[in-house]
Amino acid sequence: MRDVTTPNPAPPTGDPATPPATDPAPAAPPVPAPPANPPAQPSTGQGEPLGLTQADLDRIITTRLGQQKTQYEQQQADFQAKLAQAFGLGPEEQDPAKALEAAQQQATAFQQQAQTAMVESLAMAAGIKPDKVPLFARLVDVPGALNGVNPADGTAVRTALQSAVTATAALTPEFKGAALPASSGGDRQSGGTPSIDEQIAAAQKAGDWKTVIALKRAKAAQQPR
């Protein structure tokens, strides 16, 4: 009988501790080269430069100065319009220098009117005929009398004008009549001169309103202050 045996397998060759070889890792992709002129990064507002040129800065400054100039001119125009309206000037007269000149002329006119009224009152009290008072007042040298007198001092102005009226009356005796009575009552004086109230009534009846005004001013000047 034939002996049948199982053959033993051949032992493995090589180092049993070495693991089997693996496939090689794939190669890394190539890194692209940076562009020659990279685009500018936007500003983050954290102190980075804005990239403005000198021309840009000049343009911004010029624009702001123009806006400020326009605003100032508008404010001046509004002020001039209000000033002109206060003095009754039309749009064509709204110049500051003209407005100031108009105000000064108006103040001078008021002052002259007040001085003329005082001269007329003093003339009536000095005995100038009522119908001659307006002409007499024009003969009084008011500017010369008030030269060096403080216009704000009413007492000094009145004293100076009183002296001027007295001097003018002495040079024009033809303008003088009887002096006005000290009292404004209805009693006549011994010489038959009518009282100031009677003279006013007579002037009103005759329609002589200039005399009426002069007499009333003279009467007011005689009232105790």
Q: What is the pLDDT along the chain (225 residues), one digit of tens a residue?
A: 455 555 555 555 555 555 555 556 566 666 666 655 555 555 555 555 556 787 777 788 888 887 888 888 888 778 777 777 776 666 555 566 776 777 778 778 888 888 888 898 888 888 888 888 899 999 999 998 889 988 888 888 889 999 999 989 888 888 887 555 544 444 444 444 556 777 777 777 777 777 777 777 777 766 655
Q: Is residue 18 part of a domain?
A: no
Q: Is residue 209 part of a domain?
A: yes
CB 115, CB 161: distance < 8 Å:
yes
Q: Is residue 182 part of a domain?
A: yes
Residue with structure tokens 């005004």? 213
Q: If you compute the radius of gyration of the chain from its CA atoms, what whole number of angstroms results?
A: 55
Token pair belonging to 118: 């005082």
Total domain count, the chain: 1
Q: Is residue 79 part of a domain?
A: no
pTM above 0.75, yes or no: no
Q: Is residue 134 part of a domain?
A: yes
Q: Is residue 106 part of a domain?
A: yes
Q: Which of 179, 122, 174, 176 is nearest to 145 (CA)?
A: 122
Q: Is residue 128 part of a domain?
A: yes
Residue with structure tokens 């010029």? 62
Q: Name the phi and psi angles at 184, rounded to 5.
A: -100, 15
Q: Which domain holds residue 196?
A: 98-222
In angstroms, how far is the first alpha carbon of the chain from the final one? 179
Q: Which of 119, 154, 149 is nearest to 133 (CA)?
A: 119
Q: Is residue 38 part of a domain?
A: no
